[in-house]
Copies of this chain bind each other. A is one copy, B any other.
Amino acid sequence: MNVAVIGAGNGGQALAAWISNCGHNVKIYDRNESRVKQLKKKGFIELVGEANFRGFFAKISTKIDEIVFDADLIMVATTAIAHNSIALQIAPYLKDNQIIVLNPGRTGGALEFRNTLNKVGISKKIFIAEAQTLVFACRLIENGKVNIIGIKEKVLISALPSSDTSIVIKTLELFFKCFYPAKNVLETSFENIGAIFHPCVVLFNEAAIERGDQFYFYRDMTSGLARLIEQADNERLAVAKAYGYSPISAKDWVADAYVGVCGDTLCERMQNNPAYYDILAPKTINCRQITEDIPTGILPLSELGKVAGVPTPIFDALITICSFLLDQNFRKEGRSLINLGLEKYSVNEIKKIIM
């Protein structure tokens, strides 16, 4: 099978090596010329840690058309804020029955991708799916060498519409056994728990980050900050409920998703999670924890809340302050109802569209 991997970061390189090692023809796109040059020179990607082999790719290029034109499967492993631009770039080269998987989709990824293709008039039968999270916990050691820290046992995935999900999973099963069907893309979207943690931690450490104070992102959690995070999480749960979903709370998720987490409160669980110990805070406020999580996490949750009449005061305050802080119009550029293609619909209509 011909597989295109879009984006050669941590996840993209790991995916490319893994899939090629399963016997498929893998091509890689990245917009960064020097990264492409380095990988081209090396000719393969080495996985170490939980996996241990070399994956050879058929092609790597900064020209996206050369990578996607003959792909049966397109794995999009870029940051979520690039999804819209990727959709625009690949639209002219898409063919019937190609499968596109967003790894991960964050909140509303497949909806935005589908809407962008619709807007540029793509009427071909394209399968679009979003995964809840990346298959691997991994870290790039250097270009061409990825440390696979873990391989997840269960990753939810859904196509848009969800009636396509089984076809997507059947294809992915050629190399991964971890994918389970979510009910639909709302379920994967509401599971974007990272977006609940990240902007709060950065914002309420704003001046400390600017001053260059080093601290641990999760381990140095404080009780007031954790309470704010739980308020934000309550908004996520309330919005999800209005659409008929009951996702796990952030507090329970930390205990469920990781081994050896102690503590009763969210604050204690963040401080005491061994998997979090060494994660340092970003060194600048212009970081993915805001520039990705606000437009592709907090904003679409706030917007879905608006449709359902669920107030999201903390989300809205975060969006407002982050927009001023980074001088970006997240409300307009992010996954608004308009950019998700949902501006004309009610809760019930949205529930039907995704089925």
Contact = CB atoms under 8 A, between A and B. Distances in A.
Contacts of A314: 320-321, 324
Contact of A222 (B211, B223, B320): B211
A213 B213 CA distance: 10
A222 B205 contact: no
Which of A203, A210, A325 is the most central at the interface, judged by chain B CB atoms within 10 Å of its CB? A210
- Size category of the binding interface on chain A: 20 to 34
Interface in A171-208: 201, 203-208
Given A320-B313, A321-B314, A324-B231, A225 B213 contact: no
Contacts of A222: 206-207, 210-211
A325 B224 contact: yes
Contacts of A332: none
B317 A321 contact: yes
Contacts of A221: 207
Contact of A207 (B220, B313, B325): B220
Interface of A: 201, 203-208, 210-211, 213, 215, 220-225, 227-228, 231, 285, 313-314, 316-318, 320-321, 324-325
User: Which 10 interchain pairs have the tightest Cβ spacing?
Assistant: A210-B222, A317-B317, A204-B206, A208-B208, A317-B320, A313-B320, A205-B207, A231-B324, A207-B222, A207-B225
